[in-house]
Every structure is written in structure tokens, then in C-alpha cells.
Structure 1
């Protein structure tokens, strides 16, 4: 019996990725390409979109070749509707519209944040954890409840990844492979901890004040040889990660959950994983995390999440296959969490069989 198969397009920021997956979570291919700017510079929407335009078709060919498939083998085409940067998002939306008509395949629009969660769950085997979603554009503490991923805490200004990236520009660190990664490596050499603002407001966090403070003091302290760049990176990491551990633990207590899943690009950081693992162990729980293959934006996470929705009858019309820079995690009805697919049948949460499904196999 043929397995449901989807191709997914991710291009919400500086990475363009195309992945092909099956409904059982098998990742058949997952190539991507990153737009890297010079040290001290971020990435602008127009230039990022041009990068995505240049690489999207070669990535489609690469994904199909790596998976050993043709367009005829694809059941649906999934793409990131949002959140993200407008111009890069538009590239994937347009590409998907064209391929849908060329290949005669249905479209499924996907929430970028939810895709990170579902990819993390299928790769790690985490069942129902509290999720810490940390990336360049998002910082949220999330838990599933009654059909949706509910946001229990988040940043009230900039994301933690944006905070780290912007400080990397102050130090003119390389953007290859990413500024956050290079801050992490430099922080390992830090020996002196510098007190920085620690801003937790209930379940929410704020990073803009910390960034402003360290930007203002970094140049002066470095000029006077009061510390090293490594000390600054170490101090910044320890402070912002402690804030994230605090609000995650508070959400665990509120939701009565013991496990934590970290997703998003910053989730690759080994120090963040270490701090969260210690906290989880103290509460008798477990930490689930992945490496940069799945933490960092990729097409497979879009394909898999879209396929979960498609298997439950969800599609997006050509007219509605648009994009949005703002798309809240809790706007999505995660119908697949309410119903499980077993032996070609949809089983509801009460254990009763619902509408029959075809072409589904585990």
C-alpha cells in the first residue's frame, strides 16, 4: 500500500529548505541552503528573497533525487504560511502555487512554529511535553491543551535568538554557520561572569534591555581590558538561558508536566540543553532536544506537519495559499493531536473509530 508522502517548503528567514517525508515520520530528503551575510551584518528581506529565488528550484530537484521520487509520487505540497519575513515567505508561497498547478497536487499551508514542535516530537519521541521554542524570531513556552498549542509565556519584545545575533554583530563575529553558534563557541572560553539585567515578568521575558545594556558596556569594558569578548558571550548566554529555564519550569508546574522539548534554532545550543536537562532531572523529568538537522529551519518539518493535517482532510485552496508575517502558534487547530490514524482509520480521543482514510500505512 502506498504511503502518504509530502514535499515541504520552508523559507521564513535566511534558510530555504525543501524536504520530503512520509506519514510515519520517515525523512526521505531534507536539503537546504543558508543566506550568509558578512560579519557585523544581518540579513535584509529583499536580499534574502533573492537568495531563496536562486536556490528553490535546485533544492526541489535535489530533494526529489535524494528521495528517489518523481512529482507523481507526491500526495501534497506544503509550505510555510508564517510567521516570518514577508519577502522570503512570498518566494515559497509562489513556488508552491506554481508547482501545485504543474503537478496537479493539493496545497497545505503550515504554521512555522507548530512545524518545529511536530518535527521535535516525531524525531525525539516526546509525547506531551512542555515546549520551549527559541529561535531568531520567536521565543515561546508552549503546551498542548484542547486541540491547540497554548502559549504560556513568551518574549514581550525581541526573540532570544535575535538578541544573541545582534550582539554577535557588535563583536563582528562571523555569520558562518550562524552568529549564535559562534557566540556559543566563544562563551565556552569565558572565565568572568558579568552581572547583566535579568528580566522575567511572570511567565514572560524581555531581552531588549539586556541587549542595550551589554551593547553600551561592551565597548567600554573591552577598551579598558576589564573583560574579554569570551567573558561577554559567556555572561550573556548564562543570563538569558537562566531566564528561559525559569519560565519553562513555571509552565511545567502550571501544566503538571515533567518533560520538556526544546525546538528552534537556538535549541541547538548545548549549554541551553545542559541547563534545561539539570532542571528537568531535579523535577524527575526528561529533556528532549535535537541537533541542527532538525532544530534549524528545514523543509521536512513543514512537509511532516502539513501531511499530518492533510491526512485528516485539511487542504488550502489556491486562492488562500497566501503568507503572513504574523501567525500565532495558538491559532492552529491541531486536529491530528485529537485523532490518531491507525490502520487506515481515524480514531478519536475517546477510542472510537471515525471516518475511514485511504492510502495510509504505518
Structure 2
């Protein structure tokens, strides 16, 4: 994985080095990272640390408890991030934080820390859209030029393309996000939340052999996932379901299914829907590139299915590993520093958070 990548656009080259601290805390992951933009227009990741709030199996994470976790870990994570980067807070050009979308209480906790640092050290503040952070970090790491973006995470599911200084949403979920769908089913079958329920769904699915029928719900360029979740939860109450695996003497022809079969079926169905709407967007704008970002973008089966589709169209898929795919501070630093270098800052009066900050509301001034 390259850390020094694409050239910064010529219009952003001002003949000096820039440093930015990024703080992410829109859900259960608290991240702090420092990025450096060099004189020659390249960028370097100096640090990218993260701490995750993990709950017991079968339980989700509540906003209040998650916010308390972020408050407890914020200072030490920021301190460690600056030490690893080899700089002090005085060297920073700006402090970037996640403005939204996300969970209200965790967002507010991190915004409060960012505002405090900004006031203590007289550093400009930059509020960053979480989704745009994922996109810009994905473009930076992979080198994708102008891809269709599939953004899949616990809170968001969108198909996105860039046009005229805006990331435009071609399709999205009509109800719950794909990551939320996977996480909630993981709780139903009591999978561990460590390191994440989605990861454990993926590993369990690799053992699945039987594909059970589930609703396939695409509506134009949009998808609906709540009905699929209801349907697969119903399978866990079926007399043919074996929560602890098939019994001795039960084989593939006995119509018995296990948690592995259900995880496999859920992934195959949902990912096929995502590939379909992504392919439609590629056809619409004539793109040969797909960039997968967001926490679910780490899923190897999703990458494989998307790769098959892209190859058939003569294109390719770009994705990152868990360092940059899962929520992290460095993606906020990257998007925030790009915005800062085009003159965008956030005043203290406007340094609020919003749980519904849409991707297409951002003015992408750093792209032509």
C-alpha cells in the first residue's frame, strides 16, 4: 500500500508544506491522524491511530456510551498521533473534525475536542463531511482518477459520481444502510462485535454452502434492505435452522441450514444488488473505474463480485485495506486539508454537527 501517492492539483501548490490533524468519531470508532502535503505536491500519512468501542455479543453501541468512550480516549489518542507524526500541535496548519453524518452524541464529543484545540492553539478549524473524507482518502491511496464510488458503511449506502465540484448521489438505500443490516443480523445470531460484526459475518459466510431465497429489492438506482433483514431473521426461527451447525447425519440434501448458510445468503443477495446499481451508474457516465469506500468496502467477497462485473466491462475496481477503509482520522485530515487549501474554514460559531449531512451538500472546490 502506497503512502505517498497522487500529485496535488497545480492550483493548490503554493510552495510550502502543510500539516493537518484529523479527528473522526461519527460512530464507535475514534480516530486521529496527521497528514502532510509536500512541496512537490505529494502527500504522506504521518500517523493514523484508532480506538474502537466494542460491546458484548448481541448488543449494539448506544450514542451516550459511545460518546463517553470518545471523551475518555480523545486526548491520549491525539497525543499519540502527534508523537508518532513527529510534530507538535504548533506545527499544524489546521484541525479537521467530522461534522457529520453520524451519531449525534459521539459527533458532538469529538467536535468539542476540536473546538477546544482550535481555541487553545489559535488554529483554523475545518468541519468535514464524513462521506467525502472516505472518498478523498480512497482516491488518494488508490490513485483512481474519476471513478464511480460505492460508499458502503454502517450508516450509509450510496452510489456516487463527481460532476462540477459536487459529489452527486446516483442511488442510495431507501431505509437502512448495508453495514447496519449486516451488524443487526450479527446480533441476532450472537456473533462477536470484536473486531466488528461485519467482519465476523464475512468470515462465517465463507463456511456457508446453502443459498436460501431472500427478497431482492432494487428500485431504479436505489436499494431497500429492511425487508431482507426481516426475512433472514425469520429463517432463524425455522425448525430447519441449526444455530450450532448441522447435526451428525444431516447433509446438504436435508434442507437443513446453519448460521454460515444465512450469512452467505445475506452477503450474496445484498452485494448482488449493490453491484447492479453500481453497474448502471458506470453505464450512465461511461466510467471504467469503481472505487469502494466505507467499512463494508473491506469485505473481500464484495470486492470480488464488483471485480467480476468491472472486468466484464473492461474496467477495474479500486479498494483500500482496513487502515483506510474503516473509519479513521487520516481521511478527515486529507479532506479537511484539501478544503483548507482552497480557503474553506469553519468558524467557531458554525462548528456544529449534523447527523444528516449529505454528500451532495459539499462544495468540492479542490477539484475542477
Structure 1: unaligned runs, 5 residues or longer: 339-362
Is 1:147 matched with 2:155? no
Moved over 3 A (4+): none
Residues 1:63 and 2:87 are matched in the alignment:
no
Task: Tell whether 2:259 aligns with 1:229.
Answer: yes
What is the TM-score of this pair, normalised by structure 1?
A: 0.92
Report the counterpart of residue 17 of structure 1 in structure 2. 31
Contact 2:242–2:259 (8 Å) recurs in 1: no
Q: Which range moved further: 268-277 or 1-10? A: 1-10
Separation in structure 1 between the aligned mates of residue 90 and residue 286 of structure 2, nearest angstrom: 46
> What is the CA–CA distance in structure 2 between the aligned matches of 1:41 and 1:175, rounded to whole Å?
8
Contact kept, 8 Å, 2:55 with 2:61, in 1: the verdict is yes
CA distance in 2, matches of 1:3, 1:172: 49
User: Does residue 317 of structure 1 match 2:340?
Assistant: no
Where does residue 4 of structure 1 map in the other structure?
18
1:100-115 equivalent positions in 2, closer than 5 A: 100-115=118-133
Partners of 1:223 and 1:79 in 2: how far apart?
45
Q: Secondary structure at the match of 1:31?
A: strand
Q: Describe how 1:28-177 pairs up with structure 2 within 5 A.
A: 28-177=46-195
1:337 aligns to 2:351 (yes or no)? no
How far apart are residue 72 of structure 1 and its match? Answer: 1.4
- Mapped pair 1:201 → 2:231: no
Per-residue CA shift, 1:56-90, capped at 9, x if unaligned? 00001000100000111100000000000000000
Equivalences, count: 338
* Residue 219 of structure 1: how far off its partner (Å): 2.6
Cα distance between partner residues in 1 of 2:175 and 2:130: 19
Distance of 2:108 and 2:43 partners within structure 1: 27
Alignment root-mean-square deviation, CA: 1.0
Q: How far did 1:139 drift?
A: 0.1
Taking structure 2 as the reference length, what is the TM-score of the superposition? 0.91
Q: Give per-residue Cα distances to partners, 1:76-109, cap 9 Å, x unaligned.
A: 0000000000000001110011000111100001
Distance 2:43 2:134 in 1: 14
Residue of structure 2 equivalent to 1:281:
311
User: Alpha-carbon deviation of 1:2?
Assistant: 4.4
Is 2:242–2:258's contact at 8 Å kept on the other side of the alignment? no
Is 1:267 equivalent to 2:263 in the alignment? no
Q: Secondary structure at the match of 1:197?
A: coil
CA–CA distance in structure 1, aligned partners of residues 206 and 50 of structure 2? 28
The CA distance in 2 between the partners of 1:3 and 1:317, in whole Å, is: 23
Partner of 1:81, secondary structure, is strand
Q: Measure how far apart 1:223 and its partner are.
A: 4.9
Structure 2 residue runs without a partner (length 5+)? 1-14, 247-255
For residues 96 and 191 of structure 1, what CA distance do their matches in structure 2 show?
48
Q: SS of the residue aligned with 2:366?
A: helix
Report the secondary structure of 1:18's partner residue: strand
**Partner Cα distance (1:258, 1:218) in 2:** 40
In 2, the alpha carbon distance for the partners of 1:323 and 1:303 equals 17
The secondary structure found in structure 2 opposite 1:65 is: helix
